[in-house]
Amino acid sequence: MSDQTGNFAGKVILITGGTGNIGLATASRLAGMGAAIALLDLDEGRLAEACKGLGTQDTLAKGYVCNVTSVEDVHKTINAIISDFGKIDFLFNNAGYQGSFAPLHTYPEDDFARVMQINVCGAFNVMKAVSEHMVSRRFGRIVNTASMAGVQGPPNMAAYAASKFAIVGLTQTASKDLAPYNIRVNAISPAFMGPGFMWDRQVELQASAGSQYFSTDPEEVSRQMINSVPMRRYGDINEIPGVVAFLLGEDSSYMTGVNLPIAGGIL
Ligand SMILES: NC(=O)c1ccc[n+]([C@@H]2O[C@H](COP(=O)([O-])OP(=O)(O)OC[C@H]3O[C@@H](n4cnc5c(N)ncnc54)[C@H](O)[C@@H]3O)[C@@H](O)[C@H]2O)c1
């Protein structure tokens, strides 16, 4: 079977947030499995660089500048991808923004709206546009990036937690709405991935938010976070792509609507 995990020759995948840490690591893994990759993100230069790193003789990679918060932009981009590649088999719906860190009573309203726009409306816009195409083909596999913040609301992250709970709900509803069309929709929920942008930012911002839950010293916050993980370490970005590949491929053929934690034992 060509789309068992490990062999995606002939498959086309769209990855949003494609030049970010998780998006690019996943693109690289799936390109190695033979998939053709459409990377969607905000910055043209970063897209060009990412595609250069992905393109080999056997795989095709192309970048698309698109802001997922714009319905018009998303539709234009999906049409361009279908025109360039002929189809979209898989969607890794992964673009996201973490937002501010502040207790609820001081959380900035404009940032709350921004996080919801990117993480919820953006994910919906892409999933809706791609699923129209997938319904017409009676085939599709979608993986949404949620977060453990969408399973347990962490302190100081009202917008992010709300947005990722929404992704879990969206995944469950979409899995039911799209099941009759041979489209499976699942989610992953990473936590404490690092080192790198999100990890460093989260440690520093939790320290500066000054709550009873974390120290004001970033190094101590880092220890506190690791101590909350049963496996007592943070996750590596490269521990994500294999799980995405599993959910996209036919090794997970009877799974839809699930949210898989990638979180060292946090449930
Ligand atoms: N890194 C972690 O610890 C972690 C944990 C749980 C969940 N996540 C989620 O994983 C996903 C990827 O995160 P990451 O760690 O790779 O972060 P990242 O910042 O490296 O990547 C996010 C990417 O999304 C893109 N993006 C943001 N807004 C966009 C928009 N409006 N339109 C198009 N693209 C946009 C960014 O340009 C960036 O390339 C996010 O949804 C994030 O919430 C990350």
Q: If DSSP states are collapsed to H, E and C, what string results for 34-82?
A: CCEEEEEECCHHHHHHHHHHHCCCCCCEEEEECCCCCHHHHHHHHHHHH
Q: Is the pLDDT assigned to residue 223 strictly greater than 80?
A: yes
Closest ligand 1 atom to the C-alpha of 98?
43
Q: What is the pLDDT of residues 74-131, one digit of tens each?
A: 999 999 999 999 999 999 999 999 999 999 999 999 999 999 999 999 999 999 999 9
Tell me the fold of 12-193+237-262: Rossmann fold (3.40.50)
What pLDDT does 238 receive? 94
Question: Cα 254 vs. chain centroid, distance in angstroms?
Answer: 21
Please give the number of the atom of ligand 1 that sits closest to the Cα of 46: 39
Report the alpha-carbon distance of residue 6 to residue 222 in Å, rounded: 35
Q: What percent of the chain has pLDDT over 70?
A: 95
Output the pLDDT for position 2.
57
Regarding the beta carbon of 163 and ligand 1, being less than 6 Å apart is answered no
Active site residue 160: yes
Q: Is the CB of 97 under 6 A from ligand 1?
A: yes
Q: What is the mean pLDDT of residues 7-27?
A: 96
Q: Is 17 in the pocket of ligand 1 (CB under 6 A)?
A: yes
Q: What percent of the chain has pLDDT over 90?
A: 90
Catalytic residue among 160, 181, 234, 254: 160
Separation of CA 97 and ligand 1 centre (Å): 5
Average pLDDT score over residue span 16-27: 96
Strand bridging mode 183-190 / 259-262: parallel
Q: Give me the chain's average pLDDT, please.
A: 94
The Cβ of residue 254 has, within 10 Å, a number of other Cβ atoms equal to 6
Q: What is the pLDDT of residue 173?
A: 99
pLDDT for 240 equals 97
